Homo-oligomer: A and B are copies of this chain.
Amino acid sequence: MPAIDAVGEFETIQRLFKPLAHPEWARGLADDVAALPSRPGYDLILTKDALVEGVHFLPEDPLDTLAQKLLRVNLSDIAAKGAVPFGYLLACHWSERCGWPEREAFVAGLRRDQALFDIYLLGGDTVSTPGPLTFSVTMLGWVPAGRAVHRGGAKPGDVVFVTGTIGDGWLGLQACQGTLKLEQDRLDYLCRAYRQPLPQTEFADAILKSATASADVSDGLMADAGRIAEASGVCIELDLEVTPLSAAADSWFAGRVDEEAALEQLASGGDDYQIIFTVPASQEEAMRREADRRHVRLTRVGQVVEGNGLVVRYRGEDVTPAKTGWTHD
């Protein structure tokens, strides 16, 4: 495809992206394609996510953390399936404001996360756009053949767990926008959670071992729980009052008058990049030990019962949330 690019596609690829490329499979980014050997006994897991300025991120978000977020939202999808990531393809649609320093900052973020998550650039495309800065990533991972954990396997009697804390991304967006009133260190923590969410890649093997169904929490705890229920043909009961909160989220929560409404907001805000998953009740304790061993916070947020869809409870009473998440509403 002809590609025009103010700074120069060739320079951008040669000087910025080539050092990030997989030493073998990316073929020096000189060939339009990556060539990836098959790995017998494993399935390839692929996921693709797009980020658009003004829609999925703020124009004032720094480009290095933006690069990290771009990789991490995709790494989160891979981890939730019990898979181990190894590489990605990247399309950069540079807007007019993206000169050389902006591209360098972006690539610095990629470099940092490639080292942190042991992944490589495999290929992609770099073009100019008259519109907003836009990226899309195709992330690849391996999982033992036939073992990927999907949304559709939850069974009545299973318990529902979530890793980490919920609501920090939603609060973090407000913190970054300056519309949240909290102590500065709380604001900093939340803003970091929004800009550099930490996907639970270390927990993928525990998911692989025991989870009956799993998904990452990107659209909101309730929405993503609801989709597991739907895909599995079961009912999931969520207990709102046990929603795990960070210390920063807790200090925001402490200032709320309507606790139920506040929890609904945190559990529908999305941008969490935690893993919600189900395990047989017999595995509950073993799973808690797996989490302890990895220093991963793990919270039982509900249970799977016969029926259909999502039931949300607050202190034992059924409630009807105004919204469950970003989409499907």
Contact = CB atoms under 8 A, between A and B. Distances in A.
Interface of A: 1-5, 9-10, 27, 30-52, 54-56, 73, 77-78, 80-81, 83, 89-91, 93, 122-125, 127-132, 134, 136, 138, 143, 145, 148, 150-152, 215-216, 218-219, 227, 231, 270-271, 325-328
Contacts of A44: 35-38, 44
B131 A47 contact: no
Given A48-B91, A89-B48, A138-B48, A218 B1 contact: yes
Copies in the complex: 2
B91 A136 contact: yes
A54 B96 CA distance: 14
A134 B93 contact: yes
A10 B327 contact: yes
A54 B130 CA distance: 8
Q: Which secondary structure dominates where chain A touches chain B?
A: mixed
B132 A131 contact: yes
A128 B90 CA distance: 19
Given A1-B51, A2-B325, A36-B44, 4 more contacts: A2-B218, A33-B77, A44-B44, A131-B134
A33 B81 contact: yes
Contact of A150 (B31, B54, B122, B138): B31
B131 A2 contact: no
A127 B50 contact: yes
For the complex of A and B, the 3 pairs showing the least CB-CB separation, nearest first, are A131-B131, A2-B326, A38-B38
Contacts of A9: 327
Given A40-B40, A136-B50, A327-B10, A35 B130 contact: no
